Amino acid sequence: MPLKFHRLLLPLLLFVCQLLAEIPQCFHFTWVGAYENHSNIHTETCDSRVGDFNDIPCEEPLVVTPDDTVPDVKALWHNATEDRDNFLCQMSPGRSCVKYSYIFKGGIQNITYMCAIVNSTNGCYRQTHATGMVVEACVCTSKVGLIPCNGCSNSRLSGAMGLALCLIILYQWLNKYRIL
Question: Does 16 sit near ligand NAG (CB under 6 A)?
Answer: no
Least separation in angstroms between residue 6's CB and ligand NAG is 43
Options 3-11, 17-25, 78-86, 138-146: segment touching ligand NAG (CB under 6 A): 78-86
Least separation in angstroms between residue 141's CB and ligand NAG is 17
Select 30 or 96, whichever has its Cβ closest to ligand NAG: 30
Spatial distance between the Cα atoms of 162 and 93, rounded to a whole number of angstroms: 14
Spatial distance between the Cα atoms of 126 and 135, rounded to a whole number of angstroms: 6
Question: Does 17 sit near ligand NAG (CB under 6 A)?
Answer: no
Select 119 or 172, whichever has its Cβ closest to ligand NAG: 119
Options 20-28, 29-37, 89-97, 147-155: segment touching ligand NAG (CB under 6 A): 29-37
Question: Does 29 sit near ligand NAG (CB under 6 A)?
Answer: no
Question: Does 133 sit near ligand NAG (CB under 6 A)?
Answer: yes
User: In the set 1, 3, 8, 75, which binds ligand NAG (CB under 6 A)?
Assistant: 75
Question: Does 172 sit near ligand NAG (CB under 6 A)?
Answer: no
Question: Does 101 sit near ligand NAG (CB under 6 A)?
Answer: no
Q: What secondary structure does DSSP assign to the chain, as a single string?
A: --HHHHHHHHHHHHHHHHHHHH--EEE-EEE--S-S-GGGGGG--HHHHH-SSS-----SSEE--GGGPPP-HHHHHH-SSS-GGGGEEE--TT-EEEEEEEEETTEEEEEEEEEE--SS-SEEEEEE-TTSEEEEEEEE---TTSPPGGGSTT----HHHHHHHHHHHHHHHHHHTT--
CA 130 to chain centre: 30
Contact positions vs ligand NAG (CB under 6 A): 30, 32, 37, 39-40, 49-50, 56, 58, 75, 79, 81-82, 102, 109-110, 119, 133
